[in-house]
Amino acid sequence: MAIAWNPSLSGAKVEDTFVILKNKKLENLTFDSNFPNVEVDGRLRAVPLEM
3-state per-residue secondary structure call for 1-51: CEEEECCEECCEECCEEEEECCCCCEEECCCCCCCCEEEECCEEEECCCCC
Q: How many domains does the chain have?
A: 1
| Tens-place pLDDT, residues 5-49 | 888 888 877 788 999 999 999 998 988 989 999 998 988 888 877
Question: Per the domain annotation, does 51 fall within a domain?
Answer: no
Residue 24, domain extent: 2-46
Instruction: Give the pLDDT confidence score for residue 17 in this predicted structure.
Output: 92
**CA-to-CA distance for 42 and 47, rounded, in angstroms?**
15
- The count of residues in the chain is 51
Question: Per the domain annotation, does 7 fall within a domain?
Answer: yes
| Strand 12-13 with 16-20, pairing | unpaired
